[in-house]
Structure 1
Amino acid sequence: MKLRHIIWSGLICMLTIGTSNAQEIMTLEKCRELALENNTSAAIAKRSKDKAEYTKQAYRANYFPKISASGNYLYTNAGLNKSLPASYLPTFVPDPATGELIPNILTMGADGNPIFKEYAYFPEMDLSLKLSGTWMAGLRAEQPIYTGGKITSAYNMSKIGNEIAGLNQDLTRADIIVKTDEAYWTFVQTNELLKLALSYQKVVTELLRNVTDAQEVGLKHKNDVLKVQVKLNEAALRIRQAENGLNLSRMNLCHVMGISLATGIILPESFDDHPFGNLDRTIDYSHRPEYAILDRQVKLKEQQVKLTQSEFLPQIGIMANYGYINGLEMNGNKLLDRTSFSVMASVSIPLFQWGEGRNKVRAAKAEHDIMQLQRDEVSEMMELELTKALDKCDESALEAALTAHSLQQAEENMKVSEDMYNAGIETIADYLESQTVWQRAWMEYINAGTRQRLNWTYYQKATGKL
């Protein structure tokens, strides 16, 4: 007879532990959905993915010209006020032969300085230069022409980083599902253990009633009653332990799902219909997000080598400026009031850095080799983990089948022992022992079922199917 035929109909199926009146019927799929929706790690992974996407778009912008506007305004009380004194200036006359202007010299003085035939009178002049109120505005455009592959490498790195962030989302999701399954099946396990404890108590209570009635009419000894009472006390303790375990496992499941710890949880009526797929021993670990992340990290290091090399290659760029300046008055007349346009090209060629570039590239290549070795090492560990998960699934399936058969045999043994005890052929100790064997077989059946379901979850994670 299957386990669900042993459990009384409807017993504790609607069990709720906690002070809150809120109750939720929780299937495994619903628990997973709530955990993925409310888990902080999932939210962090999502924001990390958003950040990586924004970073990729930012690096993509480096392919296009950068345009900026600038403006300056000068306010100051400083200025220039100066008076030029009156003076006599020498004159020049044209040379008939060449047409060039030559000094109009009359003779040379005793001191060796020339004396001109004529002088021009320069009157006294006051100068006033005003700086305040000068302003300028302009537009600048900068466009890299050749950067040694720096822009392309940086953009490729940002794309790989975006892919890693997406894979990290998948990894976080798988980890959350594993934690949710562990919490869910632990809650199922403790719920079934409580049902077992209550069923055992019912069996022992019925036995105590029969033995007590027989002892009152002299058919049984007081010693038999005391032995059954000891077992009944043990059953009461197991019920209390199961109740406490059930309450703690319910609270832990609520915590994993991100809901109130006081929320009552109602389990579905049966867990025997939980589907299991077929084990595929030909599948590998390459679908796991952990492996894909390692593979992307190797590619990231490849781009890092190219980025390092670009730092020591020629850099070529152009810059264009268009501006307007206004201000700077002299004696009330504005000196500056015009626009200007300029274009500038720049070329930078590294010539000699005493081996800096060569050694930096070598260091980047060493990092790439290290990452490849780490990927290979972790790949072997994932292969071992997958093999272990396959073996555990196979073992737990066999264990579940064997414990189910053992439970049927233990139940049949208990019934035979009960009949023999009632017939006076078997002692009360033998009958109590058959009950203990039945209880232990039921407990092993529950634990085996829990392990089978958890091992299936671990297998799915090891194959990258979660």
Structure 2
Amino acid sequence: MKKKIIIAVALFLTTEGYGQTILSLQQSKELASKNNMAIKNSALEIDAAQEVKKNAYTNYFPKVSATAFSMRAMDPLIKFNMPGGNLPVYDGNPANLATATEFAYFPGLNLQLLDKATVGLINITQPIFVGGKITNGNKLAQIGVEVKEQQHQLSQQETLLKTEQQYWQIVVLQEKEKTIAQYEALLNDVNKQVNDAYKSGLVIKNDVLKVQIKQSELKTNKSKLQSGKQLAIMQFCQTIGIAYDSALVLQEDLQNIQLPNAYYADLETALPNRMEYRLLEQSVKAARLQTKMKRGDYLPQVAVGAAGYYFSGLSPQNDATTNGLVYGTVSIPISDWWGGSHAIKEQKIKVQIAENNFNDTKGLLKLQMEKSWTDVNESYRQILMMEETVKQTDENLKVIQTSYNSGIVNLSDLLEAQALQTETADKLIEAKTQYHQAVSTYLQVTGTSREDKDKR
């Protein structure tokens, strides 16, 4: 019978093991990079910016347009009727016209034109100089692509940071489940001892009730923990782009704690790696190019072109006419400079604003990195203090347990020592989690990869 039970339990555990999804931190980040919708959308924005760049490049080439027109009127648009008769023959002397003796008969003329017509026109224009707007427009389009690429990297960094934070939050809940299980085992052991003592008449009913109350409180806290873990897993699965899995288990634990110096990055070196820094640089470049574009609106514009046309329907015989021409144009805005100078000054002011924002934000980014480094060191100090506290509560529980077994202290002291040990163990778990999250934030704000730091 025992063998059958052992086999059944083994099969159950094996099935449970196969049913679990186990993810490491690196696997979770890879899934988030692949599946997260914010990252996917930012990648699509890069594609859109590439199309804008390609569209801007076409401005270097000639512009070709073609027009076709055909019509049929109910009545001819041009009608002309000349009656016939005898016309004097002109002998070259105007004085003889009035007394002409010879005449020629004219049968009359009835002319109707444009009852139907067909027109075709093709025009080719090649810009030679348009104030540098084509060149600067292409440079702006290139900056647009680079900005979208940097925003994509920033979106990735923010998503990976959120993934890490949620990952460690679930890890802390997994560790707390272990703490609760240990506390539950302690209470079950105490409950057995107290019940045995009560049956033997060594303790009163009140001691049994005290243990049962602690067990009820533990069940409540355990239920809250499981509900919180379930919600945290739902959110985590949404972030990394997988279906919700209630059996999801995260592989990392809180045992591997490296010193803060392992993650340190020099601020001056790290600053240019920040995507926010690079985006601000691009905003200054874009503002300067927009000033050049605005200045181009008020410079001469030169173009050459060629045109050809086809026309039929002008003569009664509907003979077709074709022709072609080449031309050049020069357009010089003169009066526009009156208002244009103010528009250019406006753009220069916007450049100054962009430069001021860039210089101000550089200081804020450095301050953010300094604060993140302070948070890393402070959270590590919290770990050291809580580890010392855990040692003290473990020792305190051993002493109280021995004293309780010897009848020196009462049950309330033992239950209080057990609860204190569990509470400090939970605080140590939270301190380690906060340290991992602080490290993740610091690496994100310094533009550093955790994998690169861990390899060191």
Quickly name the TM-score band, shorter chain normalised: 0.7 to 0.9
In the alignment, what sits opposite 1:208?
Answer: 191
In the alignment, what sits opposite 1:98?
Answer: none
Letter in 1 for 2:125: E
From the two aligned structures, give the one with the greater strand fraction.
1
Deviates more, 1:300-309 or 1:32-41: 32-41
2:137 to 143, 154, 166: 154
Superposition deviation, residue 115 in structure 1: 2.6
Q: Where in structure 1 are there 5+ consecutive unaligned residues?
A: 1-12, 94-101, 107-113
RMSD: 2.6
d(CA) in 2 for partners of 1:118, 1:264: 123
1:83 to 81, 95, 98: 81
1:317 maps to 2:303: yes
In the alignment, what sits opposite 1:291?
Answer: 277
1:279 to 264, 274, 278: 264
Do the aligned partners of 2:301 and 2:330 also contact (CA within 8 Å) in 1? yes
From the two aligned structures, give the one with the greater helix fraction.
2
d(CA) in 2 for partners of 1:354, 1:119: 72
SS in 1 for 2:251: coil
d(CA) in 1 for partners of 2:254, 2:103: 119
Q: How many residues align?
A: 432
d(CA) in 2 for partners of 1:53, 1:275: 43
Pair 1:34–1:203, CA change in 2 (3 A): same
1:457 maps to 2:454: no
Deviates more, 1:65-74 or 1:314-323: 65-74
Letter in 2 for 1:52: A
In the alignment, what sits opposite 2:93?
Answer: 103
In the alignment, what sits opposite 1:431?
Answer: 414
In the alignment, what sits opposite 1:5?
Answer: none
Do the aligned partners of 1:189 and 1:447 also contact (CA within 8 Å) in 2? yes
In the alignment, what sits opposite 1:51?
Answer: 48
Pair 1:371–1:194, CA change in 2 (3 A): same
d(CA) in 2 for partners of 1:87, 1:445: 123
Do the aligned partners of 2:171 and 2:252 also contact (CA within 8 Å) in 1? no
Pair 1:265–1:82, CA change in 2 (3 A): same
- The TM-score, its normalising length taken from structure 1, stands at 0.85
Question: What are the Cα deviations for residues 290-346 of structure 1, in whole angstroms up to 9, with x where unaligned?
Answer: 11111101100000100111111111111211333334341xx23x32432111211
Superposition deviation, residue 213 in structure 1: 1.1
Superposition deviation, residue 48 in structure 1: 1.1
In the alignment, what sits opposite 2:4?
Answer: none
Question: What are the Cα deviations for residues 266-302 of structure 1, in whole angstroms up to 9, with x where unaligned?
Answer: 2227443477843124443221111111110110000
In the alignment, what sits opposite 1:66?
Answer: 63
1:170 to 130, 138, 153: 153
1:145 maps to 2:143: no
Runs in 1 of length 4+ with deviation above 6 angstroms?
13-16
Deviates more, 1:316-325 or 1:263-272: 263-272
Pair 1:227–1:413, CA change in 2 (3 A): same
2:344 to 361, 366, 371: 361
d(CA) in 2 for partners of 1:313, 1:91: 64
Question: What are the Cα deviations for residues 362-384 of structure 1, in whole angstroms up to 9, with x where unaligned?
Answer: 11111111111122222222111
Pair 1:223–1:385, CA change in 2 (3 A): same
SS in 1 for 2:70: strand
1:41 to 38, 42, 57: 38
Q: Where in structure 2 are there 5+ consecutive unaligned residues?
A: 1-12, 450-456
1:222 to 196, 205, 213: 205
Pair 1:122–1:244, CA change in 2 (3 A): same
Letter in 1 for 2:51: Y
SS in 2 for 1:165: helix
- The TM-score, its normalising length taken from structure 2, stands at 0.87
